[in-house]
Amino acid sequence: MKILVVGGGGREHAIIRSLKKNPEVSEIWCAPGNGGISYDAKCKAIKATDVEAMVAFAKEEAFDYVVVAQDDPLALGMVDRLAEIGIPAFGPDAKAARIESSKVFSKNLMKKYNIPTAEYEVFDNAKEASLYIKERGKYPVVVKADGLALGKGVLICEDEASALLAVKEIMEDLKFGGAGAKVVIEEFLTGPEVSVLSFTDGKVVKPLISSMDHKRALDGDEGLNTGGMGTVAPNPYYTPEVAKECMDKIFLPTIRAMADEGCPFHGCLYFGLMLTPDGPKVIEYNCRFGDPETQVVLPLLESDLLTIMLATTNETLDSAEVILSDKSAACVILASGGYPLSYEKGKEISGLTNGQLADASAIVYHAGDTLSDGVLKTSGGRVIGVTAVAGDLKTALSKAYEAGDQISFEKMYRRSDIGARALKALN
């Protein structure tokens, strides 16, 4: 089988390494890919959002299957366009991808089908949104841009002034472009956060191991929000009782709701949950694998990834095995100093042989680098994710940190407390 993976970060690298375990995979490509990924897949420099060019490339190369891993090409209908030319693809069509690409759609879906989530109101007018904030008068309050905003469209506002400013920036200054034509204003929830990535074929849902992201840039969950500085799996707060409650009250109702709305979801549905004192609630849905959750969750999947992916496309997930390891995994992100604000690029990365550690003590997933003349150089904010697997989380974490010590580039930055909260919860 000849496969194309669309995207170019650590998540796509993890997907590629898992797919390659299947002996049926004869050729694997990644577009656009990155320097480190090119050790594992042929890379083609096409932007993930360039739907026309990607579809033309898929046709020209006659791929048997395309995995669309990134949110924006899904929202732009890449899976629909591939279907039109007879190429099956992993991921939802544009209609189903609205579960991530429109917060108004997902919040209204949850309200209609009684799926637990934060209380909210929707506004398409800045004046009315501001009036509502003032009348409500409760802080913190959460202001969310409706559309995709590179994970930056959620603002937690501690007081009236910052909430009004958030509305102005999103709706009037159009800080996130068209994504800010509407806003969701919602209740602030508290509790541990859990990510659950799950496979679904529109009828059946099979979750992967739960995980915990670390979104803030600095130790102690301080500093700015990032795309994720590290992950651990399983998430200790996600007990079997919580898992059952989530399955009954959130996962199954969501899958049914999407089918009832005429947009059954195929692919990986990511449930971003908060375990509040009133039970688990949905913070957000993503229509794809999370990054860097995938980098801990896929190494703990014992069944064959390609077989499961094809089953989500062919609606045969019921009979596909999804066997999960009972081990733990940790991923520590090595970032460019300054990320998520400005940072320098082009720094030579040392410590790797053909993109991996010589002692293979951990897996190196490449997120933002280039390769030329055999030299890897940084090209992004998140550069590398180092994942280690072990019988327990403490060992996985020390292995990931020790492996990270072997890699270096100028101004490399990583958090030093990934997994600390999870370890505390285990004790």
Binding site for ligand GLY (CB under 6 A): 151, 213, 228, 286, 290-291, 293
Closest-by-Cβ residue to ligand AMP is 284
Laid out side by side, the sheet with 267-276 consists of: 205-207, 193-200, 267-276, 279-286
Of the pair 261, 293, the CB lying nearest ligand GLY is at 293
Cβ distance to ligand GLY smaller for residue 180 or 292: 292
How far apart CA 45 and CA 219 sit, in angstroms, is 35
Q: Find the shortest distance in angstroms from Cβ 157 to ligand AMP.
A: 11
**Amino acid found at 366:** H
Stretch that binds ligand AMP, among 29-37, 149-157, 172-180, 375-383 (CB under 6 A): 149-157
H helix or E strand, kind and range, residue 123: strand 120-123
Q: Which does 228 bind (CB under 5 to 8 A by kind): ligand AMP, ligand GLY, none?
A: ligand GLY
142 or 298, CB closer to ligand AMP?
142
Question: Please, what is the minimum distance in Å from the beta carbon of residue 335 to ligand GLY?
Answer: 14
Residue 188 binds to ligand AMP (criterion: CB under 6 A) = yes
Q: Cβ 245 to ligand AMP, closest distance in Å?
A: 19
112: exposed, middle or buried (C-beta count within 10 Å: 0-12, 13-18, 19+)?
A: exposed
Q: Which is nearer to ligand GLY, 101 or 286 (CB)?
A: 286
Rounded CA separation 40/63 (Å):
17
Closest separation between CB of residue 12 and ligand GLY, Å? Answer: 12
Considering CB distances under 5 to 8 angstroms, the limit depending on partner class, which of ligand AMP, ligand GLY, none binds residue 142? ligand AMP
Q: Which residues contact 288 (CB under 8 A, 6 or more apart)?
A: 68, 69, 70, 71, 74, 91, 100, 267, 268, 270
Q: How far apart are CA 11 and CA 18, in angstroms?
A: 11
Least Å distance, CB 272 to ligand AMP, is: 5
Task: Report the SS3 class of residue 413.
Answer: strand
Residue 304 found at the interface with ligand AMP (CB under 6 A): no
Q: For residues 74 and 101, give the distance between their C-alpha atoms in angstroms, rounded to a whole number.
A: 9
Q: What value, to the nearest 5°, has the Cα angle with vertex 293 and ends 400 and 178?
A: 135
Answer with the entry of ligand AMP, ligand GLY, none that 189 interacts with (C-beta below 5 to 8 A by kind): ligand AMP
Q: Which stretch binds ligand AMP (CB under 6 A): 151-159, 290-298, 388-396, 414-422?
A: 151-159
The Cβ of residue 56 has, within 10 Å, a number of other Cβ atoms equal to 14
Least distance (Å) from ligand AMP to the CB of residue 102?
A: 12
Beta bridge partners of 185: 121, 143
Q: Is there a contact between 384 and 365 (Cβ–Cβ < 8 Å)? A: yes
For position 151 contacting ligand AMP by CB under 6 A, the verdict is: yes
* Antiparallel, parallel or unpaired: β 216-218 and 205-207: unpaired
CB of 59 to ligand AMP, least distance (A): 34
Asked if residue 118 binds ligand AMP (CB under 6 A), the reply is yes
Amino acid making up residue 282: V
Neighbours of 86 (CB within 10 A): 7
272 binds ligand AMP (CB under 6 A): yes
- Least distance (Å) between residue 118 CB and ligand AMP: 4
| DSSP conformation class of 208 | -
Which residues would be at the binding site for ligand AMP (CB under 6 A)?
Answer: 118, 142, 151, 154, 156, 186-189, 193, 215, 272, 283-284
